[in-house]
Chains A and B, each alone.
Chain A
Amino acid sequence: MHNPLMTTLAAASALAMSTLPSLAHSRQLTLTAQLKNYGGDGAYLAAYLTDAKGAYVRTLWVAGGKAKYHTHLSDWKRLSSGDTKRLDGVSGASVGAGRALKVTAELADALIDAGYEIRIDAAAEDMRDSPSEIRVPLSAANAGKPQAGKQFIQSLTFQLQ
């Protein structure tokens, strides 16, 4: 298995640092996740990127601030365990049922159409955890196309600019 940090560094050196928007060859990703009215408390969501081999690359956003409940986002938690800065600057409040989460991130051009995937883990209290609630290949063709999640996400759409 890949060391996720190494993967990140490799991606950064080859494809320019994805976290620095000022660099050239980067594009802005806008992610919109519309939640279903699932009839529960605010959902915890972790949106992250995996590479062609399914290895963790970086965390895009984590909704829900209580570390106690992050264990319910189990795929993200497991895959990102080597990334000690996974929450830095990319976390916020949980998302209520029926509400939408909108996240933007700068991505290196080279990540698009290269087998990378956007994945979201979801969980809400007293409901069933949904690791890999949705997995959408990060391809230009998929941009703008809404996709449904398994349990909590009504539709996930991403735009590239």
Chain B
Amino acid sequence: MGWKDVHRWLGLTAGTLAVVLGLGGAILAFDPVQQSWQATAAPSDLSAATLVERVTRSIPAAQEIRRLPSGAIVVFSFVGDQAQATYVDPADGRVLGPWQPSALPRWVKNLHRSLLLGDAGRWGAAGIALGVGLLSVSGLVLLLRRMGGWRRLAARVRGSLAQRVHVVVGRVVLAVLTLTSLTALTMSASTLGLVALDAGAEPEVLSVATGQAALPVAQLAMLQSLPVQDVRRLNFPADADPEDTWKVITVQGEGWIDRYAGRTLAWRDSTPAQRIYDWALVLHTGEGAWPWAVVLGLVGACVLVFWLSGVVMWWQARQQAPHITGNSPLAQADVLIFVASEGGSTWGFAQTLQDALRQGGHRVHTAALENFETTATTRQVFVLAATYGDGQAPAHASHALAHIAKLSPGAVPVTVLGFGDRQFPAFCAFAVALEQTLRAQGWPTLLPLERIHQQSSQQFARWGQTLAQALGEPLVLDHVPRVPLTTALTLVSRQDFAGPRESNLQAPQAPQAPPAAAILRFSWPAQGPGARLRGLGLARFAAGDLVGIVAPGSAVPRYYSLASGWEDGFLEICARQMPGGLCSTHLLGLQPGDRIAAFIRANPGFALPRTRRPVVLVGAGTGVAPLAGFIRRNDRHIPMHLYFGGRDPARDFYFGPEIQRWIGEGRLETVHTAFSRVPDGGGYVQDALRNDAARLRGLVAQGAILRVCGSRAMAHGVTEALDALLAPLHLTVQQLKAKERYAEDIF
């Protein structure tokens, strides 16, 4: 069981009960705040002796003085046989009013510490506190894993609203929650009798009657030197008992004073256990520290937020769990497919492969990779493995590699197919590791490792053709990815671009000629908070993320880089007409008011981190779109430098006027352009980089972050140019990628 399972199941069980404790705690936190509001605190130089003098003047029958954690002074006395408790102003001993232990009903506290179930409930509450502690620890591990380590803890959080709420709240309150759990356990340990707080039997002391009257309190040395700040409780000697003593309990310990001679009869320091308990009490309740009580109250209320968002996340994960149809039992199957998937999409590919093999008469069994094994009937094994983050195994398959390494190799071929994203330096790293392990173990293979980029159905189909040849049987892998729920976006406006000149050389452009490209701006429908919490509706997005668009008559989404973020209030893309392209034709045919079906896909590797370092943006053609989005949101005026490559400034200088405006507004520091189809245009964008080599080297030396967007050929050219010009710095693009300073968005 991994951290994720521990966190999930503890959250659903102990976490549910922790909501009750958290809300109870949030209510209880009002008490210290309200009490410190009311308290008339003693001046810091006031001695206990003076306080007692003042108190006895206004309340002659006083028997006990308590200094509350809020600093307020309460005096207990008897009027006749009626017990009295009153607040007293320490400045003059004046009676301020009757004392009430708490403004809250008792049951709130009892609910919080024992769920109203007495001693059994106290054990239960302690168990919940332990559960919260374990949830905090596992939560921290998962948080660090998700964010990519301590250094990136403050980075932007991605995902559905529930995930973002869970992570953002967790980042803030995790430490306090851990502390609250520890202090709760400390308090439980003493209440449940596991730890003794006191130092054993009290000393046997009594005042020795000398025939004289009792000493006036002003002459009691211990009380003279004792600041009121340190007093917890002070008991007067009883009138009826001539041998009774003064007793004082302070922060440091407790002491007994002879009422006649005034000398200290005994002193006992607080035990270390008592001091720890005192600290735990303050840290857990906020007593006497109202700002901390406010923090604790808010954290208590956050438990509900945690639980709600956690339950929604769990439910979402369940919805996305794989459902494989037509699975044969393992013992009867001749083909086994093992899957390692993080988001669940790899299961879809497995289903396609399974369906195709079943059509060919095979009996196929598909299972998760951690269940890897072969049987006597097995003839072929396929491993479809995705990679999580920067080269790790998907969570469920984290031990699969070690498991496979322990098996003795069989004679059955095992073929690995990797799924990943070329943007990450460790492209399909987990699949590569699997391949290496299997080969090192001595398993044969039918086909060498193939790595599928960004869930490409086309690449998968090509691998299917190779597989069909190797198996010597017909096999077609026609994978239709399961499209996420789409949202209807409405076109608000469009800005058309005529396209490259040479296409019109033979026939001058007709006025109605269709545009070759357009910047399209969409709006999205209003979404209620309930739908957003469940991850329905359009997900939040930032410039650089992708929007998947499903054209009518097509089941395969096409992805476009976003030129705007959620905060901009519109969704903008730059689309170019692809020859015969179903989706681009659909997009460029849209009129304002028309709708498209779309969904957001996060592109976390490409997003700009929160930084003050300079940013170098390199884009060609419509690849400038996400870069324009970065510049548009550069409200903090980070030095950004844009290198733009096009064909003809009159035709495809996308965002040209905006770029000029952004320079004026200080959002963009410099722009360098290169146009390949005009005389003296400067060539390609990599030429613009070479021409500016000295300054680029300076920027990279300053720690600049680089983002490149465009075609594969362009990205290759940019890498070559940069590797050459960075050589004097002993840096390569590969190194910058590894440090997450360099990312590409390639189409």
Interface residues, chain A, CB within 8 Å of chain B? Answer: 1, 39-41, 54, 65-68, 71, 77-78, 81-82, 126-130, 132, 148, 150-151
Contact = CB atoms under 8 A, between A and B. Distances in A.
A38 to B, nearest CB: 9
Contacts of B102: 126
Contacts of A150: 78, 81, 83
A130 B83 CA distance: 10
Contact of A66 (B78, B106, B193, B202): B193
B670 to A, nearest CB: 69
A65 B198 CA distance: 16
B202 A128 contact: no
Nearest to A129: B64
B204 interface: yes
20 contacts: A1-B204, A39-B106, A40-B101, A41-B106, A54-B241, A65-B119, A66-B193, A67-B193, A67-B196, A68-B191, A71-B198, A77-B202, A78-B204, A81-B202, A81-B204, A82-B201, A128-B76, A128-B83, A130-B83, A151-B83
B101 A127 contact: yes
Which 5 A-B pairs have CB atoms at the shortest separation, nearest pair first? A81-B201, A126-B101, A151-B83, A128-B76, A78-B202
A77 B106 CA distance: 27
B509 interface: no
A39 B238 CA distance: 26
B191 A66 contact: yes
Contacts of B238: 132
Contacts of A65: 119
Nearest to B201: A81
Nearest to B105: A39
Contacts of A130: 83
B204 A128 contact: no
A75 to B, nearest CB: 10
A55 to B, nearest CB: 11
> Which bucket holds chain B's interface residue count?
20 to 34
B590 interface: no
Instruction: Give chain A's interface secondary structure class.
Output: loop
B81 to A, nearest CB: 6
Contacts of A40: 101, 106
Contacts of A78: 202, 204
A40 to B, nearest CB: 7
B197 interface: yes
Contacts of A68: 190-191, 193, 196-197
A113 B197 CA distance: 40
A129 B232 CA distance: 14
Contacts of B110: 41
A81 B196 CA distance: 16
A151 B206 CA distance: 25
Tell which of A78, A128, A129, A151 has the most Cβ of chain B within 10 Å: A128
B85 interface: yes
B201 A128 contact: no
Nearest to B119: A65
Interface in B270-319: none
A39 B102 CA distance: 12
Contacts of A128: 64, 76, 83, 85
A129 B119 CA distance: 22
Nearest to A130: B83
A66 B64 CA distance: 24
Contacts of B119: 65
A132 B85 CA distance: 18
A66 B78 CA distance: 28
A97 to B, nearest CB: 10
A1 B241 CA distance: 14
Nearest to B102: A126
A56 B459 CA distance: 92
A91 B658 CA distance: 84
Nearest to B84: A128
Given A40-B101, A68-B193, A151-B83, 19 more contacts: A1-B204, A40-B106, A41-B110, A54-B241, A65-B119, A66-B193, A67-B196, A68-B190, A68-B191, A78-B204, A81-B201, A81-B204, A126-B101, A126-B102, A127-B101, A128-B76, A128-B83, A132-B238, A148-B81
Contacts of B81: 148, 150
Interface in B185-210: 190-193, 196-198, 201-202, 204, 206
